[in-house]
Amino acid sequence: MHAMVYRGPYKVRIEEKDIPPIEHPNDAIVRVTRAAICGSDLHLYHGMMPDTRVGMTFGHEFVGVVEQVGPSVERLQPGDRVMVPFNIYCGSCFFCARGLYSNCHNVNPNATAVGGIYGYSHTCGGYDGGQAEYVRVPFADVGPSPIPEWLEEDDAVLLTDALSTGYFGAQLADIVEGDVVVVFGAGPVGLFAARSAWLMGAGRVIVVDHLEYRLEKARTFAYAETVNFVEHDDVVVELKRLTDYLGADRVIDAVGAEADGNLLQHVTSAKLKLQGGSPVALNWAIDSVRKGGTVSVMGAYGPMFSAVKFGDAMNKGLTLRTNQAPVKRQWPRLLEHVRSGYLRPSDIVTHRIPLEHIAEGYHLFSSKLDGCIKPLIVPSAA
């Protein structure tokens, strides 16, 4: 089969690989019909995530058709169209039994701090991902779900991470009616978080970024006010001014490890790999939220230390809420919202790229060219 393969920082290519075998009785093999490149894939692509091995296939956002199932699989059969959460989880450990599917303890021998994620380095379990024609899906009775007949594949694939994560981020912010919500980052997760904040009754939503084309999307898709931080000497002061010097009630970090806005932080993190991630957006979140407010962190950071302004967080009495999204827990409610027309996930898709051209897709997305917000990957066997 054709699969995307990592060849070192900033380099990927298509290789011929064996179709993955069943390795556990509850595995399924899924033929991928649509995948995506996630902003967090860029952390791998840039060589920031420890234990990212040459030869690994990335991709944790994908949907497809069940090709083969293991002997203990009861709920799926070959031919089923399925959407697969980016979390790999057993469904039965201490954490899964409490709904914390993204924190499963039974799927990642390499680390205890993070669960299993498809195609996301050995730090996240060493599983090949879905930017390929076929992928191994562990715990087929637990993770994947049939795609409803009425749901388009381009919408379904965004439910496997980006939309679920944005929606989850808005929930973690504990928004109550009339809250002023600031979202850092106008990428896919930030756009969905902003849109979700309205569902939860926000009174104002302000999105911050430096890419004007993405801020335009935040205005038209997410109905948000926008701030381009390049246009202000100090974006924190601008946000204080916009909130009558109180600060936002809730702030969502939808940027993560490669945040721009401070050259030293960015270069020491994204280029020199001396920090787990550039905490520019997180520090801005801590400084721009009001005292007693909530910061929800959806941006992905590496496992190393980062220069976070924790003193301000403590002195301001902030609540910091974080996690990888337990995706499947979001689906019933999100599917209602999609069906009722409140959300149309594929509105943020800007590019559809054949799997064979994935190197160009990574470069386009990484360099933010051609107005790229969300690139989907289409395998030739789709």
Partner 1 sequence: MPYRAEKPPLPESAEQLRARIPGWGADLDPADRPAVPRERLDPGASGAHWDLPEQQPERWPRERSIEHGRLTPVFGTSCPPKGLSGVVRRAAYARYSEGRAAHWLLLLAADRIDAVESHLASFGTLHPDNPITETGILGEPSARPLSSRFGVRRTDVVHQPLDPVIVAGPWVAAAVVGALVVRSGVRRARR
Q: 1 to 40, contacts with partner 1 by CB under 8 A?
A: 7-13, 15, 23-26
The residue behind tokens 């999609």 is: 338
* Least gap, CB of 146 to partner 1 (angstroms): 12
> What is the separation of C-alpha 332 from the centre of its chain, rounded to a whole number of angstroms?
19
> To 10 degrees, the CA torsion angle through 260, 262, 268, 274?
-80
Q: Please state the closest distance from residue 382 (CB atom) to partner 1, in A.
A: 21
Q: In the complex with partner 1, which residue's Cβ is closer, 2 or 329?
A: 329
Q: Which residue from 68, 87, 106, 288 is in contact with partner 1, where contact means CB under 8 A?
A: 106
Which stretches of 134-288 are assigned E, i.e. beta strand? 134-137, 145-146, 180-184, 204-209, 225-228, 248-253
Among 18, 150, 311, 341, binds partner 1 (CB under 8 A): 341
Q: Which of 77, 78, 263, 315 binds partner 1 (CB under 8 A)?
A: 263
- Supply the DSSP symbol for 244: T
Q: Nearest Cα to 84, choosing from 153, 24, 149, 19? A: 153
161-195 in b/e burial notation, b at 16+ Cβ within 10 A?
A: bbbbbbbbbbbbbebeeebbbbbbbbbbbbbbbbb
x/- site string to partner 1, residues 122 to 161, per CB under 8 A? Answer: xx-xxxx---------xx-xx-------------------
Site for partner 1 in 205-234 (CB under 8 A): 210-213, 223, 228-231
CA distances from 25 to 95, 97, 138, 144, 145 (A): 22, 21, 9, 15, 18
- Pick the stretch among 31-39, 78-86, 151-159, 240-248 that binds partner 1 (CB under 8 A): 240-248
Contact with partner 1 (CB under 8 A) among 110, 268, 346, 350? 110
Q: Which of 18, 149, 177, 233 touches partner 1 by CB under 8 A?
A: 177
Q: Name which position in 72, 220, 315, 380 contacts partner 1 (CB under 8 A).
A: 72
- Residues 6 or more apart from 342 whose CB is under 8 A from it? 199
* Closer of 250 and 266 to partner 1 (Cβ): 266
Residue from 152, 201, 220, 310 touching partner 1 (CB under 8 A): that is 201
Interface with partner 1, residue 190, by CB under 8 A: no
